[in-house]
Amino acid sequence: MDEIDERGPCPHGEMLFSRCALCRDTPVQTRRSVYVTAGGQCYHYDINCDALEYGQTQVEERGGVRAERKPVYEDIIKYERNPCEICVPKP
**pLDDT at site 7:** 63
- The pLDDT, as a whole number, for residue 34 is 95
Bridging pattern class, strands 42-43 and 33-36 = unpaired
pLDDT given for residue 1 in this prediction:
43
Alpha-carbon gap, residue 47 to 67, rounded angstroms: 13
Provide the pLDDT for residue 70: 95
pTM reported for the whole predicted model: 0.67
Tell me, yes or no, whether 16 lies in a domain: yes
For the chain, which ranges sit under pLDDT 70? 1-9, 12-15, 17, 26-29
Q: What is the DSSP string of 29-85?
A: -PPPEEEE-TT-SEEBS-TT-HHHHHHHHHHHHTT--PPPPEEEEHHHHTTTSEEPT
DSSP letter assigned to residue 86: T
Domain that holds residue 6: 1-28
Question: Are 24 and 42 members of one domain?
Answer: no
Say if residue 35 is in the same domain as residue 15: no
Task: Give yes or no: residues 40 and 75 share one domain.
Answer: yes
